[in-house]
Amino acid sequence: MYFPSLTKYPDYNLNNGVKVDYDKYWQKRCQSEEQVLSNWQKQRSDLVLKMIEQNSKILDFGCGDGSVLKYLKDNANISGIGVDISDDALSKAKKNGLEVIKMDITNLNNLNNLPEVDYILGFEIIEHMPNPEEFIDKIKNKARQALIFSVPNSGYYIQRLRLLFGRFPQQWISHPGEHLRFWTVKDIKWWVKAIGFKLDKIVLYEGLPIFKNIFPKLFCRGIIIKMKK
């Protein structure tokens, strides 16, 4: 989850590389070898636990160090497989006994060999893709029950105010090229229907205390969707 400022940008130096490097991305996100969920990760994971059944088989795209997948495994006895491109992140996941697959999911042909599961998860990944529609079309038959994704809420009040200050919504961590797609709550509802899915559930989470419960579309940072074919 991203905590944007009205006027500032994350530190970025072209000397560190002009391309998006997801090893650096995960090194910045996961400073510890221990799998400890942040408050927002735990909140999101607890919400997802209400959307899946015990003993489900799950494929987690963009699993990172596997901390979320391990939490779901510990609390719902799921059988989980983590998928990521970062060697650094996957090495941490494997140290904690998780089954992992290294894969560049932007190469859609790679997706053909993935196993069929009950649920496919993708937390904060589709906004990194230039073609999430193609990606979802490719994996839709791999999920027997549903696909569950989370994305940042581009309608969050800070992002709206940044536009008033002449700055684009800032949702990246280590490189401005990380996020390629953006959704508000209205956008995501339209988009799910447009790509031929049924929106089974949408939940907004994390944000400005008190106000997030009154005006969630404006004051919640994150969106979780559960969608079915």
Rounded to the nearest 10°, the torsion over CA 57, 60, 65, 66 is -20
Which residues, in sequence order, are CB contacts of 85 under 8 Å at separation 6+? 22, 102, 103, 104, 105
pLDDT value for 175: 72
202 sits in which H/E element: strand 198-207
pLDDT of residue 2: 47
What number of residues does the chain have?
229
Q: For domain 21-26+34-228, which CATH number applies: 3.40.50.300, 3.40.50.150, 3.30.830.10, 3.40.640.10?
A: 3.40.50.150
Q: State the Cα–Cα distance between residues 104 and 108, nearest whole angstrom.
A: 8
Residuewise pLDDT in 10s, the chain (229 residues): 445 677 676 666 655 666 666 556 555 555 455 557 888 899 999 999 999 999 999 999 999 899 999 999 999 999 999 999 988 889 989 987 889 999 999 889 999 989 999 999 999 999 999 899 999 999 999 999 999 999 999 999 999 998 888 888 777 666 777 888 999 999 999 999 999 999 999 999 999 999 999 999 999 999 999 999 8
Predicted TM-score (pTM) of the model is 0.86
Amino acid at site 37: L
Q: In the chain, what are the domain boundaries? A: 21-26+34-228
